[in-house]
Amino acid sequence: MPELRQNIATREWVVIATERAKRPDDFADAERPLSESRPAREAGCPFCPGNEAIAGPPTLSVDGPGGWLVRVVPNKFPALVEDQEPMRSFRGIERRMSGFGVHEVLIESPLHNVTTALQSDVEVARSLRAMRSRGRSLARDERILVTIFFKNHGAEAGTSLEHPHSQMVSLPVVPHHVRGRLQDAGAYFDEHGSCVFCDMWRQELTAGARVIVEGAHCVAFIPYAAFSPFHTWIVPKRHMPLFIQASDAELEDVARVLRSVLRRIYFSLRDPDFNFVVRTAPNHEERSRSFHWYLSIVPKVTRTAGFEIGSGMFINTSLPEESARFLREAKSS
């Protein structure tokens, strides 16, 4: 029978559609071309070595003996721009603000034909450290309240360039979605006297059924009320509101677990498009006792439709426990 489940961190209800449930391997697309089938270098790609002038000067570069390993560059088509002040204007129902912000691209590898799943732990950790470094630098600007860190992999996830990259958008406002998660976490803390995310990772480890990988410093699991098939959270064990507070050791462990999860998804579901987002508190919430940063992975193996748009609820056609078991048993090396 179908059931409704609620995520205690976000308070979102999800329909677990057991009557429509698919086997986990039904979500694999045998016709999808794999990332590794691309050439190692694409002549017209602005992110490939030799085309650095197209991408522009970096705000951060990590170099090795043979050239750069990771680069961060301004987005050529930014959603927001730095060359203005965040001025507000209110007139009746018309509320506006100048489009101030910082939009950057993190080029994760010189190779065109890799993705996170095909990189080494060292390479994934290098990208996460570069992301943290830029986040820390941007947080020093008092005009910036929060930075959204994310990766789009594949056309269905919203990417327009195949070369492996992620993005950072720094905002002068706290989006409603972020503020809502903060408020929900605060309400849980008021009621229980503890962080909901700390409680979740501990209880998921105890239950075991939805855990995919446990690291020394973090846990990867499919939430009890996952809103889509294979929707995965990677939650640090140490309580930290901000991603930029993570230590090198913690980021290295997150990198190992992230790579392990994405390799299982890559090989078992044949390289599906996916998004990952770092859920982090605004910069001024660095001492929050209720919010806890984590990383959310969402493979794009289903589509949203009218019910989701109309209700704000999602229908998950795969049991979280079955999805987790499938990934636990999947190839990861």
Task: Kindly state the average pLDDT of the residues 159-166.
Answer: 95
- What was the pLDDT predicted at 309? 85
Residue 91, in any domain of the structure: no
pLDDT single digits (tens) 191-213: 999 999 999 999 999 999 999 99
pTM summary value: 0.96
**pLDDT score recorded for residue 333:** 65
* Alpha carbon distance 271, 262 (integer Å): 9
At residue 160, the 3 state secondary structure works out as coil
In this structure, is residue 51 part of a structural domain? yes
How many percent of the chain have pLDDT more than 70?
99
Distance between CA atoms of 264 and 254, rounded to whole angstroms? Answer: 15
CA nearest to 80, candidates 103, 56, 105, 55:
103
pLDDT recorded at residue 329: 94
Residue 39 sits in which domain range? 3-82+97-328
Note the pLDDT of residue 283.
97
Query: Is the pLDDT reported for residue 22 higher than 80?
Result: no
Determine the pLDDT at residue 31: 81
Asked, for residue 246, whether it belongs to a domain, the answer is yes
Contact, 8 vs 196, CB < 8 A? yes
- Return the pLDDT at 252: 98
302 pLDDT above the threshold of 80: yes
- Whether 52 maps to a domain, the answer reads yes
Answer yes or no: is pLDDT of 287 > 70.
Answer: yes
- Residue 126 domain flag: yes
Residue 270 has pLDDT above 70, yes or no: yes
Q: pLDDT band for position 39 (50/70/90)?
A: very high
- Catalytic position from the list 165, 217, 231, 292: 165
pLDDT averaged over the chain? 95
- The reported pLDDT for the residue numbered 305 is 83
Tokens matching residue 118: 């095909």
Q: Does the pLDDT at position 20 exceed 90?
A: no
User: Mean pLDDT, to the nearest integer, of 7-14?
Assistant: 95
Asked, for residue 224, whether it belongs to a domain, the answer is yes
pLDDT of residue 312 exceeding 90: no
Residue range 143-153: mean pLDDT, rounded: 97
Confidence of residue 29 (pLDDT cuts 50, 70, 90): confident
- Asked if residue 127 belongs to a domain, the reply is yes
Phi, psi at 209, each rounded to 5°: -65, -30
Give the Cα separation of 259 and 255 in Å (integer): 6
Give the model's pLDDT for residue 21. Answer: 67
Is 103 labeled as catalytic in the residue annotation?
no
Mean pLDDT of 106-124: 97
pLDDT tens-digit map of 45-88: 999 999 999 999 999 999 999 999 999 999 999 999 999 999 99
Per-residue model confidence as pLDDT tens digits over 210-241: 999 999 999 999 999 999 999 999 999 999 99
The count of domains in the chain is: 1
Q: Does some domain include residue 89?
A: no
Of 185, 240, 210, nearest to 325 by C-alpha is 210
Structural contact between residues 198 and 9, judged by C-beta atoms closer than 8 angstroms = no
CATH code, domain with 314:
3.30.428.10
